[in-house]
Amino acid sequence: MADAKEPAGVSNLAGAGAPGSVSGTWEPAPSTPLAPGLYLVATPIGNLGDITLRAIDVLRRVDRIACEDTRQTQKLLNHFQIEKKTVSCHEHNERSRATELIQNMKARSAIALVSDAGTPAISDPGSWLVREAIAASVPVFPIPGANAAISALIASGLPAEEFEFLGFLPEKSGARRTRLENLAKLANLAALAAPSQAGPRKTARTLIFYEAPHRLLATLADLESVWGPALRVVVARELTKIHEEFLRGTVAGVRRELLSRDRIRGEIVLLIEPPAQTVSSGAAQDAATTQEKIADRIARIRSENNIDEKEALKRLARELGRSKSDLYRELQRERARKR
């Protein structure tokens, strides 16, 4: 590989400016060699038109492309008529592959890393390779582009000034509930810790999760029991695709809408706006006080449907996507705490 003194893009910037300078204009320069290093290239999350000019240019000019799934990336490369050697780099081989790729880059190769969709290393492989590259003094270049969390946030209508991206929640219902309960406590504490001049701040930061369609209803049910039915949520589905959809409202309302559907499909980002902490004293309110207890929910289901406890437990378990025995144990724990 020919030596290149400047990182990708610098030599292509007409006019003044450093890489990323807003005053520079960009044009592809396929004949200019890329600087050796690791290029983290974002790819579309649905709409192929969302690939950037720079991403195409870099993918054309690197020596090799490391892919989460080579077959998936090949479709993208075919679409943009990019002929390039690919190599797999996924969660099961990232560590061993990193060693090999770093040797290549130390020998002056330019390597791109792409995931199946969106920005590498965001709920996707890449972080390990990046850390190893930095440790080996290999330059790392972000080539930014599509990302589902940010796309959902900006169109959600929820506060975007401060947010927290939390990736996927645990799949198992018990662990998911515990995680959400801990988040509720943290959200309360954060709201208390950053009072504005007029008193405690009005909203906590928006929380963003990735969620699988088959777990969405159970997660919404958990959110409702942790934060209450009035929690503001947004479900962003199939972003940038033909069936793109935003469901905005209270958790109870959005859940009702989704329950009325035959099936929930597609890729989903779930956003929530934890309610403002209303206590004005310095004492943190225990998040448990804002949760609806299992016993209360069972009592409500029983009275609404005129059924016995066993049947109510069965219905609640189905609604929450949890096992009856798991829920029964939690009920017993609640009752033991009351005694």
Q: Which residues bind ligand SAM (CB under 6 A)?
A: 45-46, 115, 117-119, 122-124, 147-149, 210-211, 236, 238-241, 267-269
What is the closest distance, in whole angstroms, from the C-beta atom of residue 279 to ligand SAM in the complex? 34
The answer to whether 305 touches 277, Cβ cutoff 8 Å, is: no
Please say which residue, 6 or 238, places its beta carbon nearer to ligand SAM: 238
Rounded to a whole number of angstroms, the minimum distance from the CB of residue 246 to ligand SAM is 10
Nearest to 45 by CA among 259, 238, 203, 198: 238
**What is the smallest separation between the CB atom of 134 and ligand SAM, expressed in angstroms?**
20
Question: Nearer to ligand SAM by C-beta: 46 or 275?
Answer: 46
Measured from the CB of residue 146, what is the shortest distance to ligand SAM in angstroms?
7
Least Å from the CB of residue 292 to ligand SAM:
27
Place of tokens 């009351």: 338
Tell me the pairing of strands 206-211 and 163-168. parallel
Can you say whether the dihedral through the CA atoms of 15, 17, 19, 23 is positive or negative? negative
Rounded alpha-carbon distances, angstroms, from residue 318 to 15, 97, 124, 133, 326: 62, 43, 31, 47, 12
Strand 13-14 to strand 25-26: parallel, antiparallel, or no bridges (unpaired)? antiparallel
User: What is the C-alpha separation between 148 and 232, in angstroms, rounded?
Assistant: 19
Nearer to ligand SAM, 35 or 216 (CB): 216
- Residue 152 or residue 294: which is nearer to ligand SAM going by CB? 152
Find the largest Cα–Cα distance for the chain: 78
Q: Which is nearer to ligand SAM, 58 or 191 (CB)?
A: 58
Report in angstroms how near the CB of residue 137 gets to ligand SAM at its nearest: 26
Looking at the Cβ atoms of 113 and 226, the one nearer to ligand SAM is: 113
d(CA 73, CA 62): 15
Residue closer to ligand SAM by CB (options 171, 308) is 171
Nearer to ligand SAM (CB atom), residue 198 or residue 242: 242
Q: How far is the CB of 167 from ligand SAM (least distance, A)?
A: 8
Least distance from ligand SAM to the Cβ atom of residue 241, Å: 6
Sheet with 163-168: strands ordered across: 163-168, 206-211, 268-273, 232-237, 245-250
Q: Tokens 């492989």 label which residue? A: 125
Six token digits for residue 236: 């962003």
| CA–CA gap between residue 289 and residue 324 (Å, rounded) | 24
C-alpha pair distances (Å), 131 with each of 41, 47, 94, 138, 321: 16, 30, 12, 10, 37
- Quickly tell me which residue has 């930061």 as its tokens: 205
> Which residue of this chain has its Cβ atom nearest to ligand SAM in the complex?
118
**Given the DSSP bridges, would you call strands 232-237 and 163-168 parallel, antiparallel or unpaired?**
unpaired
Give 126's DSSP letter.
T
Q: Do residues 40 and 130 touch, judged by C-beta distance below 8 A?
A: yes
Q: Can you tell me the distance from the alpha carbon of 172 to that of 290, in angstroms, rounded to the nearest whole number?
A: 22
Q: In whole angstroms, how close is the CB of 262 to ligand SAM at the nearest point?
A: 20
| CB closer to ligand SAM out of 115 and 173 | 115
